[in-house]
Structure 1
Amino acid sequence: MKKFKIMALTFVAATVTFTSCNDDFVNTEPLSELSQSAVWTDAALAEAFVTEIYAGFNVGGFEEQSLSSLTDETIFTHPGRGITTITEGRSNPADIGWVSANLRWDAMYSRIRAANLALKNLADPQFPNTGNIVERLQGEAKFMRAFYYHQLARYYGGVPIIDRPYELGEADYLAPRNTWEETVNFIVKDCDEAATLLDGRTMANGRANKAAALALKARILTYAASDLHDVPTAKSKSTTISGFSNPELIGYVSGSRTERWQKAKDAAKAVVDLNRGYKMDLTSPATPPAQGTANYMDISLARNGGQTELLMARYFTNAKQENGGRLGLYNGPNGYNNWAGNTPIQLLVDDYEMMDGTKFSWSNPVHAADPYANRDPRFEASILHEGSPWKVRSNANLPKDPASQIQTGRYEVINAAGQKVTHFGLDTRQSSIEDWNGSYTGYYIRKFTDPNPAIVDQNTWQQIPWPILRYTEAVFNYAEACINLGQEEEARTWLNKIRFRAGMPAITATGAALVDKFRNEKRIEMLYEEQRYHDARRWMIAPTTLGRKANGINIVGTLKPGKSVTVYKFSKENYDYTYTPFEIDPGKENRAWNDKLYFLPISQAEINRNDKLVQNAGYGK
């Protein structure tokens, strides 16, 4: 008889009480397992099984190591974790480099198998269908199967489509990769069926719903229409792809891109029409900068109405003490006794526009003299920089910084003897506090970090949800499809709704300039949300974005004549500041783009297990 292990449930507390006769030595049923017949004859146990499939959702940018550090968003501070294997172009089937555990090939297929088991047994339920629970669970299982296949597709291209659970004693357990088109079509079909099954249902936070199914469909169809997956276009931009003997595994070798973009547009419009966006009804850029910052923070913290953006999210509770609640510890300033894991790079900072919508430029003396002034309001909601007000420092460190401001530069101060001395900021690698955890770039992540001073990052777990799918992404997908279909006015209308919410002026660009504006707007709005990694690849701009050296900022505060301070505080009155961008020492990370990294390699272990698999381009056979 088949057994299912009792798994820890991640999203929804599902408590099942099991009783046994402890003094009955004849009862040999394992206490940690349930028979298949028991699971699928009890609605509560069936729901618990489906609920456990959600555990395959990774915690995204809330992990200690973040996908953002494989892009031009952040750099990972601590060596030896496998990130540079990818950023330096050394990934190979024997050593892929760092990939989140839940995103690996075997982990995805483990969850897909669980979804297949659920769908098989729910096809002929052995328990009462009270409240149409069967259809709900089927909808959830189909959504999750689609989600895990879409994760595989985003990283690997076409993959083996397994739509049933394998049984013991089968003649063959090996399967070849399906084409990219077949993989996309399978995901879309599951999304459509999930949306139908979940239509009209009010679902608990963190569980699949109609909106999430439609949003996932829009995402995969947007990817499918992109340059990387149009083989003729991809071949023209990559010699690695042009030499691949199985291009149908990574894209469309023929067919109409216009039709693909139309499908993507229609799918995204179905989500846009749900009107789930936060403050998407503004018609002019009248939002004050401070309110624009607050609006963006409300979305990233899922508060004050910002949670309406979330179509699918992973939620965290203090009781579970999951890694997703430790973002502040993982990425926060060392001067607060945090680890500074993933820190923003200057290339990202420079891509924030000025408040008037023009580009920031170091060659502009006004910009260079005060680089954080008059920037896109989302900048202050996303990045901690020199002088940013932050939480009150610990009792031990507060005397060194009574103002509790981020200190990432070096400054001249006057000591007790009246001598001018150099002081290194508390949040630098020359700090008196955990200098080994200081940022190399001079910046720290603010977005998604709970600013509540009661959340002490070293010993308190925050409860900010990780946005797996949100409404604004669907708006970007809609705008992107419109641009590619020549419907620029419609694209600008929706892009400007996003910008007006942030307090930024309208986009008026056309043609190639509009494409650039769109891409930068998505870069800023969807920061740290695991969008940039995939966008840079599918747009095939990775060589000029992800291939650039990571950089940071040097800041020197020099006392003005006649001024005297003993404890540093960021002040334009007392200091003249100079800001100098620099490239990160290649000894820390020496980024180099390699075209094979448009897709991850299938691990050699999987190739060895299944000789029907074809390896991706650039990784050998």
Structure 2
Amino acid sequence: MKNIYQWSLVLLFGTMTACDSLLDIDPEYTQDAENFFNTEEDFDRAIIGVYDMMQPAYLNLWIGEIASDNAIAGGESVNDSRGLHEIENMTHGGVNEELRAVMRVNYTGIARANYIFENQDKADFEGKDLILAEAKMMRAYFYFNLVNYFGDMPLIVDRRISINEISSAPRTPKGEVYQQIESDLREAIGVLPWNVDQTGRLTKGAAMALLGKALLYQQKYEEAATVLGELIDTNQAGYALFEDYETLFLVQNEHVAEDVFTIQFSGLQGGDYGCLVCLNGNAAVGFHSIRQYTGPVYADGNSYNLPTGDLYEAFEEGDIRRDASVLDLEAFIASQPNPDEITYAIGGGGHTGYYNNKYIKRLDELGLPDNDLTSPLNYRAIRWADVLLMAAEAFQRSGNDERARTELNKVRSRADMPAITTSDDALYQDILQERRLELSGEGFRFFDLVRTGQASDKISGFIAGQHEVFPIPQVEIDLAGGNWEQNPGY
């Protein structure tokens, strides 16, 4: 059993799927819990339903790269997934399917977690505290996504919300949402174990890493340094950098010591393009892959989320992470013994000559047909290198350059790169640059640029005071009876 998503999932929530409208998660009063939440098995099925809503991680992976200087949208044409092209060009507005999916998916996850808390007193059994802790961490993760995409968002805790309440649910200030995120994570940390028997379950280390990230995003540097420093110094889970960066992102090297917070996928169940958020496979992998490719190592795909030449050139000479992260397709073909027999096509949505080599289809890693949609490649939401770099940033910003260099150079050493010796702002910039290189193609670049105030200098078309957050989907404003104001500039 590869992970918890291969369990049979009973549909506990009526029509509550990621394809439904925001907060319209259940026909009002048709779902009750009188015949559910009575046994340990019921609670375990319910928590798997919450885990399930983390699987649309491809949205973060796409938007976090395409909105930045790291990638372009690509694809078949500019009309194919138009929303991604609008995000690339910073012309996105209130009508955008990808952004609407972000909102629906995360609120559906929150609603599923809240449903558990609403019924938490119906049964007692050993291990219920762990289920509640898992639900708290995932609720924090969903709210963290929402505030970073949209800013102020309605904060709904421990209960479902009726569709008739939408118009009276105001957008909660971002700071208050972050308070709930921190509270949920601190409570989860107090309960979750360092290690788990079942692959895919959340851990204390994952919750600590996410808390450190939430604090860093709020510029609470000293608090972030404390949490991340404790995680690094205690490290009872045995986290470590995987020795070979060049093979880190292969399926065979999943569930290694570098994995801190990983979203699991399975290649054993298919789906269709009508509901990408409903898949059990990692949709990003097929979409990133080489259009109509015929040749060794790789498999054909849809040529989305294509790295830019700017990213490729940002790597220092000799940095092994460049080719491990960014596939220069023509150079790869030229290095093969039969280059004339290798063919591929260029999509009309843009072409850079580069592909995301971390999340890409390989011939020996294919899931069941349609293998564009059934990749078993897990998504690393936070890995140990990210923890070290977040800690380096938090320590530097709170005045401890020595500790910052220590954590930074652990990451550089794994890549066989020389140690950084700078201090003050030069060190800070080195840390941010290292984040771009180490984590390229993983969906963090846009949010890093925004939170550090560098987006307007790095992203073409970025308007300060507007593009730090994305627009609230207009259809959701309409569903809220016009009670929600659109974000400035949209």
TM-score interval w.r.t. the shorter chain?
0.7 to 0.9
Task: Name the structure 1 match of 2:326.
Answer: 383
Q: What whole-Å deviation, never above 9, does each CA across 1:189-211 have from its counterpart, x for those lacking one? A: 00011111223562522222211
2:309 paired with 1:346: yes
In structure 1, list runs of 5 or more residues that go unmatched: 1-8, 19-32, 226-259, 281-291, 355-374, 391-399, 408-424, 428-432, 548-591
Change (3 A) 1:158 1:65: closer
- Say whether residues 1:467 and 2:380 are aligned partners: yes
Cα distance in structure 2, aligned partners of 1:457 and 1:160:
39
Q: In structure 2, what is the equivalent of residue 98 of structure 1?
A: 98
CA distance in 1, matches of 2:173, 2:255: 39
Residue of structure 2 in register with 1:594 after alignment: 463
1:505 is matched with: 418
After superposition, where does 1:442-457 map in structure 2 within 5 Å? 442-449=353-360, 451=362, 453=364, 455=366
Shift of residue 159, structure 1, vs aligned partner:
2.0
Any idea what the Cα deviations from partners look like across 1:512-542, whole Å, max 9, x if unmatched? 3222211111001111211102101111211
SS at match of 2:196: coil
Task: Please say which of residues 306-315 and 435-444 is displaced more in the overlay.
Answer: 435-444
1:404-424: CA deviation from partner (whole Å, max 9, x where unpaired): 55x9xxxxxxxxxxxxxxxxx
CA contact (8 A) 1:62 1:324 kept: no
Q: What is the SS of the residue equivalent to 1:514?
A: helix
Q: Provide the C-alpha distance between the structure 2 equivalents of 1:75 and 1:541, rounded to a whole number of angstroms.
A: 19
Amino acid paired to 2:306: T
Is the counterpart of residue 482 in structure 1 residue 395 in structure 2? yes
- Counterpart for residue 266 of structure 1: 226
> Do structure 1's residue 68 and structure 2's residue 69 form an aligned pair?
no
Match status 1:113 vs 2:111: yes
The farther-off stretch of 491-500 and 312-321 is 312-321
Matched letter for residue 359 of structure 2: F
RMSD: 3.4
Structure 1: which amino acid aligns with 2:307?
A: P
What is the CA–CA distance in structure 2 between the aligned matches of 1:160 and 1:171, rounded to whole Å? 11
Identity across aligned pairs (percent)?
24
The Cα of 1:401 is off from its aligned counterpart by: 9.8
Give structure 2 stretches of 5+ with no counterpart: 13-29, 271-278, 295-299
Q: In the aligned structure 1, how far is the partner of 2:205 from the partner of 2:338?
A: 42
Task: Find the aligned partners of 2:225 and 2:432 in 1 and give their Cα distance.
Answer: 17
Q: 5 Å matches for 1:288-437?
A: 295-301=244-250, 303-304=252-253, 307-321=256-270, 322=279, 324-325=281-282, 327=284, 329-334=286-291, 335-336=293-294, 337-354=300-317, 375-386=318-329, 388-389=331-332, 403=337, 433-436=344-347
| Structure 1 position 55 matched with structure 2 position 49 | no
**Equivalent pair of 2:6/2:266 in contact (CA under 8 Å):** no
1:536-575 equivalent positions in 2, closer than 5 A: 536-547=449-460
Deviation of residue 151 (structure 1)?
Answer: 0.8
Hey, what's the Cα distance between the residues in 1 that align with 2:405 and 2:72? Answer: 32
| Kept in 1: contact 2:366–2:376 (CA 8 A) | no
Q: CA deviation at 1:497?
A: 0.3
Q: Which amino acid aligns with 1:403?
A: P
Q: Which residue of 2 aligns with 1:617?
A: 488
Which protein is richer in helix relative to its size? Answer: 2
TM-score (norm: length of structure 2)? 0.81
Alignment-mate amino acid for residue 108 of structure 1? N
Is the CA contact (8 Å cut-off) linking 2:84 and 2:98 kept in structure 1? yes
SS of aligned partner of 2:337: coil
Cα shift readout 1:297-321 (whole Å, capped 9, x = no counterpart):
3432364587222222122222123
1:36 corresponds in structure 2 to 33
Distance 1:495 1:519, change over 3 A: same
The Cα offsets for residues 330-365 of structure 1, whole Å up to 9 and x where unpaired, read as 2233333432222211000111012xxxxxxxxxxx
Cα deviation for residue 381 of structure 1 reads: 1.0
Which residue in 2 is equivalent to 1:605?
Answer: 475
Deviation readout 1:2-26 (Å, 9 max, x if unpaired): xxxxxxx9725146799xxxxxxxx
- Go from structure 1 to structure 2 and tell me whether the alpha carbon gap of 1:527 and 1:17 turns closer, same or farther (over 3 Å shift): closer
Helix, strand or coil for the counterpart of 2:261? strand
Contact 2:70 2:308 in 1 (8 A): yes
Cα displacement (A) at 1:278? 6.0
Partner of 1:284: none
SS of 1:597's equivalent in the other structure is coil
1:417-447 alpha-carbon deviations (Å, 9 max, x no partner)? xxxxxxxx955xxxxx544479721122212
Q: 1:64 to 1:44 in 2, by over 3 A?
A: same
Alpha-carbon deviation of 1:403? 2.0
Q: For residues 125-148 of structure 1, give each alpha carbon's deviation from its aligned partner in whole angstroms, at most 9, with x where no partner exists.
A: 32x51xx22111111111111111
In 2, the alpha carbon distance for the partners of 1:221 and 1:113 equals: 24
- For residues 617 and 271 of structure 1, do their structure 2 counterparts lie closer, same or farther at Cα, with a shift above 3 Å needed? farther
Q: How far apart are the structure 2 equivalents of 1:511 and 1:599? A: 29
Distance in 1 of aligned mates of 2:6 and 2:330: 41
Distance 1:435 1:170 in 2: 48
Seen in structure 2, the aligned counterparts of structure 1 residues 54 and 333 have a Cα distance that, compared at 3 Å, is same
C-alpha distance in structure 1 between counterparts of 2:59 and 2:163, whole Å:
41
Q: Equivalent residue for 1:251?
A: none
Which stretch has the larger CA shift, 592-601 or 295-304?
295-304
Q: How big is the shift at 1:450?
A: 5.8
* Equivalent position of 1:413 in the other structure: none
- Do the aligned partners of residues 48 and 386 (structure 1) sit closer, same or farther apart at CA in structure 2, a change above 3 Å counting? closer
Q: What amino acid is the match of 1:447?
A: K
Comparing 319-328 with 490-499, greater Cα deviation is found at: 319-328
Residue type of the partner of 2:385? T
TM-score w.r.t. structure 1 length? 0.65
The partner residue of 2:178 within 170, 180, 184 is 184
Deviations 1:578-600 (A, max 9, x none): xxxxxxxxxxxxxx222311011
Equivalent residue, structure 2, for 1:3: none
Shift of residue 277 of structure 1?
7.0
Give the aligned residue type for 1:114: R
Measure, in 1, the Cα distance between the counterparts of 2:45 and 2:151: 32
Task: Please state if 1:88 is matched with 2:89.
Answer: yes
**3-state SS of 2:248 partner:** helix
* Partner of residue 135 from structure 2, selected from 141, 159, 181: 141
Query: Partners of 1:169 and 1:594 in 2: how far apart?
Result: 35
Q: What does 1:223-302 align with in structure 2 at a 5 Å threshold?
A: 223-225=217-219, 260-275=220-235, 279-280=240-241, 295-301=244-250
Q: Higher Cα Rg: structure 1 or 2? A: 1
Larger deviation, residues 509-518 vs 456-465: 456-465
2:268–2:367 Cα contact (<8 Å) kept: no
Asked if the contact 2:67–2:90 (Cα under 8 Å) also holds between the matched residues in 1, the reply is no
Measure how far apart 1:109 and its partner are. 2.0
Change (3 A) 1:388 1:206: farther
Quick one: distance in 1 between partners of 2:86 and 2:197? 41
- 1:220 paired to 2:169: no
